[in-house]
Structure 1
């Protein structure tokens, strides 16, 4: 699914060069659930942005499903990202002016899915996330836990092969956090490959493998015995 070899990312300004990632080697198998951990500033989000084709690495190889994607131009990265990668963020990233239905429908509009099929998929995704009863509400009418359920529904409505989650429980209380992790685990058991950035050891315990970063490098990889 994911093959990364000697991947590096350097940010440059006129006066400063910052190495965010240094010689990263990481393989993620289909249907695997991987948690990435490490202190703030260690490169976790930078790595996730590259995996999600939001940014290019400076050096190294990134293959997604056997295709080299690390050096693609933005237009080509966007094409691959639309149908193959779903994102779940700490801040939910829902559009306030759109209803729950409209927020979840948006990825399917970008993919030019016909209206009847969009309706079927949106309703199925909301049912899976147990949030169908809020279908016509706006984000500001929902609790944090409900907003994250909607965000996950939006991430999976196009049936992506890869789900990337950046601190998905970071803005939630413990009960809603557990519910979100149960939902991600369910999606993984149904076949989704998941890579999650987290500070929470509890959340990381749901993953098959924990990858620890420090100063832009992988320092340990630990298999969880689930």
Structure 2
């Protein structure tokens, strides 16, 4: 599903050149649950942004579903990830003025799904994340764990083949964090491929495999600084 070859990302200003990724080679098979780990500043989020087509590499190649997509321009990346990739972020990124139901429904509107089907799919996914009783509530009326479950519902309601999660439990207490990880694990067991960036060794235990980064490169063993 995912393959990179010598993936490199360099950020340049007039005076400074920062190598965020340096020749990264990874492969992710369909149905895997991958945890990307490493110390702060090692390139984890930069890699996830490229995998999610939010950014493009400076050098190297990136294949998604056997298609080389690393060269795509911004508009092409936006069109390509539509319906294919679901995102879950640390800060939830919900729209405060919309209810739980409306936040999830917005993704299906974006995909052009008809009204009747949208309603059915929204109710189905809210049942799955155990938030049917909160459908008419607004984000500020929910706990952090509930908000993250809404974010996950929004990410998966469009039935993407891959979910990318950036520190999905970073703003949660241990109980809510565990519930979110169990939900991601259930989605993976149903066949969804998940790639997750995390600092948490506990969260990483839910993954089938760990990719360790250090100074923008893949390393074989966990570094002592983690």
Q: TM-score range by the shorter chain?
A: over 0.9
**SS of corresponding position for 1:202:** helix
The answer on whether the counterparts of 1:210 and 1:221 sit within 8 Å (CA) in structure 2 is no
1:134-213 matched pairs, under 5 angstroms: 134-213=134-213
**SS of corresponding position for 1:72:** coil
**SS of corresponding position for 1:83:** coil
> Which runs of at least 4 in structure 1 moved beyond 6 Å after TM superposition?
none
Partner residue, 2:81: 81
**SS of corresponding position for 2:82:** helix
Give the drift of 1:5. 0.6
Using structure 1 for the length normalisation, give the TM-score. Answer: 0.97
Taking the aligned partners of 1:151 and 1:48, their CA distance within structure 2 comes to 17
Using structure 2 for the length normalisation, give the TM-score. Answer: 0.97
**Which stretch of the first structure deviates more once superposed, 184-193 or 213-222?**
213-222
Alignment RMSD:
0.9
1:12-23 matched pairs, under 5 angstroms: 12-23=12-23
Give the drift of 1:73. 1.0
Taking the aligned partners of 1:206 and 1:62, their CA distance within structure 2 comes to 26
How many aligned residue pairs are there? 222
Taking the aligned partners of 1:37 and 1:129, their CA distance within structure 2 comes to 26
Taking the aligned partners of 1:221 and 1:185, their CA distance within structure 2 comes to 24
| CA spacing shift, 1:89–1:166, aligned 2, 3 Å | same
Taking the aligned partners of 1:210 and 1:65, their CA distance within structure 2 comes to 21
1:1-226 matched pairs, under 5 angstroms: 1-220=1-220
Taking the aligned partners of 2:126 and 2:77, their CA distance within structure 1 comes to 28
Unaligned runs of 5+ in 2: none
